[in-house]
Amino acid sequence: MVKGLVFPFEDLLNHTIVLEQEHELFRRSVSKFVSEYIEPYANRIDQEDKIPEEVWDSLKRQGFMGLMIPPEYNGQGGDNRSHVIFAEEISRVSPAVYVIVAVQNLFIFPLLLYGTEDQKKKYLPRIASGEIIAAHANTEPGAGSDVAGIKSTAKKVNDHYVINGVKTFISLGDVADVFIVSARTSPPQPGKRWWGITTFIVERDTSGFKINRSLEKYGLRGSHVAEIVLEDVKVPEENVVGKPGEGFKVVVETYDRARIGIAGQALGIARAAVEKSMEYALKREAFEKKLVDFQAIQFYLSDMLTKLQTARLITYWAAYLADKGSRDFIVAASMAKLVATEVAQELAIKAIDIHGGYGLMSESGIERLLRDSQILKIYEGTTEIQKITVIRSLMRKLYGYTPP
């Protein structure tokens, strides 16, 4: 039976969001950093489809590559709320630059959750310093959100594995030095389609590991995706992350955490849409009146601000649940990504409507908001996957039933 207004959670405290003074101080420092080191390059990044070395260097100097790495591995030890703050502030100006840090987390999270101490000591300090760039290679031509559907194989030979397969849409695949790679070490078991996947650490210079090509895309320009081919790639047994055959859990739990940051990235896009629209409505005139004096524009802006704040609250709520160690963060993270990415798209369209023809000019930076928002609805699990996660979590928790 469904009980009370807190459904599907246990009590009202599950709806709490707590932010400390240190979070506000961090936000101010990131905002200042963005204004000085990212904003001057934002349009250039999109137009040239390249993030300048100066931007990469500034992220490394500030230690943002290791934002989520614990201090014992030379990282900043940031929590999920800090991560969302960072994602929103950066993405307000350049969602593509945020991808750099987000992709590091797709390597960092598996090691923190399932890696050995030797793996953590070998890679995490070097990521935190910016010495190496990390990435995550799971998606294949026939499997993306369907993690259990991957076809790449890894065959055990004595004390190592031999990996063969193709990975595609791999963010930072063209520049990364080390990858988390998923491959099948055994066939799925009856009723356990996810079984048999194993995750590995694979270094770029390993024989047989090839960057086949970079793929052209119309959003998040500057942050590239690549197709990777693995042909008899020999990986030592010590590079297995987690237990052999249980890599599905490694990948899915990584995405559970990473999608909180993607929701924060969507907040940045939505916030930019609101800020740019309000500024334009104040300075643009039509029929001898400011745009903001038209009731239709007032309604637009009011709705946009309300939806931005709704998305922000659910995103910070998911981050706080994760920081508390509550398993409810999984369903909250899916809700946050679902809501925030939809809001980012809707507000980008509204911003184009408000700006009219100017909103479609590349120099305005408005049409870029819409292009960028589309990718956010796809990676780290599509909008439809988030809906499936929400309902499956709900049915399992309340009724002990897992839909097929």
Tell me the pLDDT tens digit for each residue of 322-340.
999 988 899 999 999 999 9
Mean pLDDT of 19-32: 97
**Which residue, chain included where needed, has tokens 């796809």?**
378
Q: Which domain holds residue 18?
A: 12-133
Q: How confident is the model at residue 6 (pLDDT cuts 50, 70, 90)?
A: low
Same domain, 27 and 127: yes
Residue 1: pLDDT above 50?
no
Q: State the total domains in the chain.
A: 3
Chain mean position to CA 240: 24
Catalytic residue, chosen from 89, 342, 346, 380, is 380
Residue 87: pLDDT above 90?
yes
CATH number of the domain bearing residue 232: 2.40.110.10
Same domain, 104 and 227: no
Same domain, 188 and 54: no
Q: Is 48 an active-site residue?
A: no
Return the pLDDT at 2: 47
Question: In this structure, what token pair is assigned to residue 275?
Answer: 């800020």
- Provide the H-helix boundaries in 115-246: 117-129
Question: In this structure, what token pair is assigned to residue 107?
Answer: 């390597």
* Closest among 365, 375, 297, 303 to 337, alpha carbons compared: 375
Mean pLDDT of 366-395: 89
Considering the entire predicted model, what is its pTM? 0.93
